[in-house]
Amino acid sequence: ASVGKDGYRHYMEKELHEHPVVIGQTLQRLVDPATRRVVLPDLRFDLAAVPRGVVTACGSAFYAGMIGRYWLEQYARLPIDIDVASEMRYRDPPLTPGGLGLLISQSGETADTLAALRGMRQQGQHIVSVLNVEQSTMARESDAVLGTVAGPEISVASTKAFTAQLSVLACLTVALGRARGHLDASAEERMVTALLDLPSRATEVFEQRDAIRRMAAIVAEARDVLYLGRGSSFPVALEGALKLKEITYIHAEAYAAGEMKHGPISLIDRTVPVVATVPSGRLFDKTLSNLQEAKARGGRLLVFTDTQGAPRLRDIAEVVVEIPTVDEFTSPILQTIPVQILAYEVALLKGTDVDQPRNLAKSVTVE
């Protein structure tokens, strides 16, 4: 079936606006509304018995996997190895039999991810794939598929599939945390409540469009942009930088905020904007001090935060995008949305072919 743009200028804009609905639909499949507990489909293996996890994917799906890694380690205490699929398939790391092999892919056809899946299977992993296209090669070769209910994604640059992948990975984290005895009922209740709250909070993100446009005007003038984040905000920064490169052709690099002093700090001056994702929470003060270092070197700070973090950032940042404060667990899901919108707004200013960026393909089925 053909899919229209519903009055939006680009598929990407339409798909950005679908974030709230897609998150809601994806969660609906995995959360029982009556008990408010995560219920996964039959995985055909015992989740509680899994000794380790290995995660792989390409592109944006890989960054979703990185956020999944932070969650699975922190909340389920599951040891995780992660790498991009093009490395994983040839690295061929020794895997503990009976481990969880976790693949993430919008299309279910990406050649490197599929090859990594087959390698994991050969080493006796239980294969769980997080897929948007549920009739795909990876779906057929998996023990279990956790579907993202994002609908067709037409824009080459992934948007809504990413937050849907995160919604699935968050539910998997809750299920694993419970199975492994690391989450009690009240912790699970808190996490599920935070997840179910996301669709409405995601809708509110769009109220920040003007502030994001002010950021975009600065980013559009730059040749290079540095993105920063810590913890689960680091992959959000990576996703932001990737999106900017893909659709605006501006060079962007993402760094773990604490690592900035070991290199990219030498690049910082007025011409290199620093885009940081700094939600309130455990790591807020650490990232704030990194931003003060960047500011002291003349850096222009463009900051994504939440209502709780904003007051402490307004003095040092040139533009602050302030989205609703949510649980630290779900904050990377919400923080991704404005970061993707920023890339879109810059692309509009640059006049690039947003939905079909040069040299890129929606699904890469060759190595």
- Interface with ligand G6P, residue 26, by CB under 6 A: no
List the interface residues with ligand G6P, window 153-192 (CB under 6 A): 156-158
Nearest approach, Cβ of 254 to ligand G6P (angstroms)? 15
Query: What's the chain's length in residues?
Result: 367
Nearest approach, Cβ of 40 to ligand G6P (angstroms)? 21
Binding mask 106-135 for ligand G6P (x = CB under 6 A): xx--x--x----------------------
**Residue whose Cβ sits closest to ligand G6P:** 59
| Residue number, 5 or 362, with CB nearest to ligand G6P | 362
| Residue number, 157 or 183, with CB nearest to ligand G6P | 157
Q: What are phi and psi of 346, to 5 degrees?
A: -65, -40
- Interface with ligand G6P, residue 142, by CB under 6 A: no
- Interface with ligand G6P, residue 105, by CB under 6 A: yes
In the numeric block, which tokens belong to residue 41? 């489909």
In this structure, is the dihedral angle defined by the CA atoms of residues 10, 275, 63 and 76, taken in order, positive or negative? negative
- Interface with ligand G6P, residue 139, by CB under 6 A: no
Q: What are phi and psi of 270, to 5 degrees?
A: -60, -20
Where in the sequence numbering do the catalytic residues fall? 362
- For the beta sheet containing 126-131, the strands, ordered from the edge strand earlier in sequence to the opposite edge, are 80-84, 53-57, 100-105, 126-131, 144-147
- Interface with ligand G6P, residue 49, by CB under 6 A: no
| Residue number, 106 or 336, with CB nearest to ligand G6P | 106
Which residues share a beta bridge with 31? 38
Nearest approach, Cβ of 59 to ligand G6P (angstroms)? 3
Cα dihedral 122, 109, 59, 83, rounded to 10, equals 0
Placement of tokens 């540095």 in the chain: 226
DSSP β-ladder status, 301-306 and 319-323: parallel
Which amino acid type is present at position 156?
Answer: V
Give the DSSP letter of residue 272: S
- Interface with ligand G6P, residue 360, by CB under 6 A: yes
Task: List interacting residues with ligand G6P (CB under 6 A).
Answer: 58-61, 105-107, 110, 113, 156-158, 360, 362-364
